[in-house]
């Protein structure tokens, strides 16, 4: 349990033991799940015992809510105690509802504020908050965290780039918070109106909500566009909006969930524990320590991460390399769409960085070559560029690709998350 700070181990253990003891009486899903695996909460005596408990996955939550709407058999609390409802983004299927009690909301604010302080947000910042302000957990809860820090929040949301420009012109904005995709989108929007993003003097770009912020070439492109350093955070709609935050210059994100969540790293295939040593890869698994609504146990996030090193205090640092449910398999080789985008981005400005993988049918198995559409950056030797991109994909990702270059602006842009895979049936 290398993600739990040593000073929190005893408190987290006691809180989680009490949570698990009450859980079967509160949640029919966990009463059945524990009984089905022949275990009781008494099996948990210390954090290492978590591995004795069964996993929870996203499909189980969908089935739970279908069986007992609106919040499901796992909710653990009545709707009358819920002060707000969010929803997952639905990238892997039908969205699921996430209830938040007053105490849960306070814990979220605590965790998220700690994450953004780590990422560099301060009370002196004027932050253009450009993520969805409706059901998305990256909207209202992050606004609450910025206000806890004392930052000035400009809640633009999405679909309002003209208002973002007005705010940049008039409010002394020092930082942008958005998805990595929107940071690129807004820069393109400004340039299309004859404005240089660097001219607005932003000092910080704070990103999250999708892979991208940690991709080296993509990050360099965003930093070059804005003339400001990028830091990223990582969270999960079903557990907490942001649980990891990257300190400027640190080389990775550290766990910032404090005493509210226990993090495990597991092998995505076997489910076995993976030690959080530098260079290790695995899937993040979360357990709620003191959650009132939706107190999930060993929830599989499908976020695949790599341990990049250690912070000064010894805490593991990570980068998200993709989602295991987005992963493609080409002749036995695992390929993350975000990794393909990063390869294409290295050819900027000969490419714009916009890319889509085109599949003949649903993944994850793909017959080679991997079909990739990428936007070129304008006039030039496109035949040579195509060959260079294909060669680099093969060299870095160990798969054969067939690249088609298309004119700038051909691939759909999004103010939310980029759609990196398209299925052409």
Q: Is 352 contained in some domain?
A: yes
Q: How many CA atoms lie within 13 A of 327 on its CB side?
A: 20
Task: Report pLDDT for 92.
Answer: 44
Find the helix or strand (DSSP H, E) in which 163 lies.
helix 161-170
Asked, for residue 208, whether it belongs to a domain, the answer is yes
Residue 261 lies in a domain: no
For the segment 308-335, what is each residue's pLDDT rounded down to a tens digit? 999 999 999 999 988 877 778 887 777 8
What is the Cα–Cα distance from 298 to 355, expressed in whole angstroms?
Answer: 34
H or E stretch covering 126: strand 126-129
* φ, ψ of residue 421 in degrees (nearest 5): -125, 135
Domain assignment of residue 342, given as a range: 328-423
| DSSP symbols for 363-424 | SSEEPSSEEEEEEE-SSS-HHHHHHHHHHHHHHHH---EEEEEE-TT-SPP-SS----EEE-
Mapped onto helix, strand or coil, the DSSP state of residue 245 is strand
**pLDDT given for residue 274 in this prediction:** 96
What pLDDT is attached to residue 379?
A: 92
Q: In the prediction, which pLDDT does 323 show?
A: 81
231 in the same domain as 112: yes
Contact assessment for residue 146 and residue 129, using Cβ atoms and an 8 Å cutoff: yes
Q: What is the predicted pLDDT for the residue at 329?
A: 83
pLDDT of residue 91: 44
**Quick check: is 19 in a domain?**
no
pLDDT of residue 248: 96
Joined together, the tokens standing for residue 104 give: 């849960």
What's 157's domain CATH number? 3.40.50.12780
Instruction: Flag residues of the chain having pLDDT under 70.
Output: 1, 89-94, 414-417, 425
Note whether 230 and 334 are same-domain residues: no
Residue at 179 is within a domain: yes
Model confidence over 356-410: pLDDT tens digits? Answer: 999 988 878 888 899 999 999 999 999 999 999 999 999 888 889 999 999 998 9
- Which one of 235, 270, 291 terminates a domain? 235
Q: Considering Cα of 225, then 228, then 233, then 237, what sign does the dihedral take?
A: negative
Query: In the listed set 214, 235, 256, which residue is the last one of a domain according to the structure?
Result: 235
Choose the final residue of a domain: 235, 262, 285: 235
Mark residue 275 as left, alpha or beta (left: phi above 0; alpha: psi -120 to 50; beta: remaining).
beta
Strand order in the sheet with 299-310: 152-155, 126-129, 175-178, 204-207, 230-236, 240-246, 253-255, 316-323, 299-310, 281-288, 261-266
Report yes or no: 101 and 83 within 8 Å, Cβ to Cβ: yes
The whole-angstrom separation of Cα 312 and Cα 39 is: 39
Counting the structural domains of the chain, the total is 2
What is the rounded distance in angstroms from the CA atom of residue 288 to the CA atom of residue 239?
Answer: 7
29 within domain boundaries: no
Instruction: Tell me if 257 sits within 8 A of 289, measured CB to CB.
Output: no
**27 CB neighbour count, 10 Å cutoff:** 23
Find the CATH number of the domain harbouring 386. 3.30.300.30
Q: How far is CA 122 from CA 150, 231, 249, 308, 330, in A?
A: 7, 14, 17, 26, 45
Q: Is 142 inside any structural domain?
A: yes
Q: Does residue 303 form part of some domain? A: no
Phi, psi of 5 (to 5 degrees): -60, 145
Residues in CB range of 42: below 8 A, 6 or more apart: none
pTM comes to 0.85
* 128 and 230 inside one domain: yes
Return the bridge partners of 299, or none: 56, 286
């Amino acid at each position: 349990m290398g993600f739990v700070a040593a000073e929190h181990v005893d408190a987290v253990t006691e809180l989680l033991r009490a949570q698990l003891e009450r859980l079967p009486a509160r949640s029919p899903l966990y009463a059945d799940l524990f009984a089905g695996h022949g275990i009781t909460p008494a099996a948990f005596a210390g954090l290492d015992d978590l591995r004795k408990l069964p996993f929870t996955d996203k499909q189980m939550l969908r089935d739970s809510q279908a069986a007992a709407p609106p919040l499901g058999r796992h909710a653990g609390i009545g709707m009358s105690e819920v002060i707000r409802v969010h929803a997952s983004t639905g990238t892997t299927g039908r969205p699921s509802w996430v209830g938040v009690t007053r105490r849960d909301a306070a814990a979220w604010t605590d965790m998220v504020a700690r994450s953004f302080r780590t990422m560099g947000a301060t009370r002196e910042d004027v932050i253009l908050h450009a993520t969805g302000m409706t059901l998305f957990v990256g909207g209202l809860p992050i606004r609450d965290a910025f206000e806890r820090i004392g930052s000035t929040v400009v809640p633009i949301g999405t679909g309002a780039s003209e208002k973002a420009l007005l705010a940049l012109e008039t409010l002394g904005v020092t930082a942008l918070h958005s998805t990595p995709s929107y940071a690129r989108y807004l820069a393109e929007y400004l340039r299309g109106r004859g404005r240089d993003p660097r001219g607005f003097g932003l000092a910080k770009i704070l990103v999250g909500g999708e892979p991208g912020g940690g991709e080296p070439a993509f990050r360099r492109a965003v930093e070059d566009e804005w003339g400001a350093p990028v830091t990223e955070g990582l969270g999960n709609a079903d557990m907490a909006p942001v649980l990891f935050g990257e300190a400027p210059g640190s080389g990775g994100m550290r766990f910032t969930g404090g005493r509210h969540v226990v993090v495990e790293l597991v092998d995505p295939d076997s489910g076995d524990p993976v030690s959080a040593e530098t260079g290790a890869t695995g899937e993040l698994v979360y357990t709620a320590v003191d959650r009132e609504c939706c107190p999930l146990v060993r929830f599989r996030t499908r976020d695949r991460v790599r341990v990049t090193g250690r912070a000064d205090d010894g805490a593991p640092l990570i980068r998200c390399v993709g989602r295991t449910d987005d992963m493609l398999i080409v002749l036995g080789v695992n390929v993350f769409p975000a990794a393909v985008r990063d390869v294409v981005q290295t050819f900027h400005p000969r490419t714009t960085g916009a890319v889509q993988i085109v599949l003949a049918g649903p993944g994850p198995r793909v017959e080679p070559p991997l079909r990739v559409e990428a936007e070129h950056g304008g006039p030039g030797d496109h035949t040579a560029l195509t060959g260079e991109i294909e060669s680099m994909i093969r060299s870095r990702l160990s798969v054969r690709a067939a690249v088609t270059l298309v004119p700038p602006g051909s691939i759909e842009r999004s103010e939310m998350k980029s759609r990196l895979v398209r299925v052409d049936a």
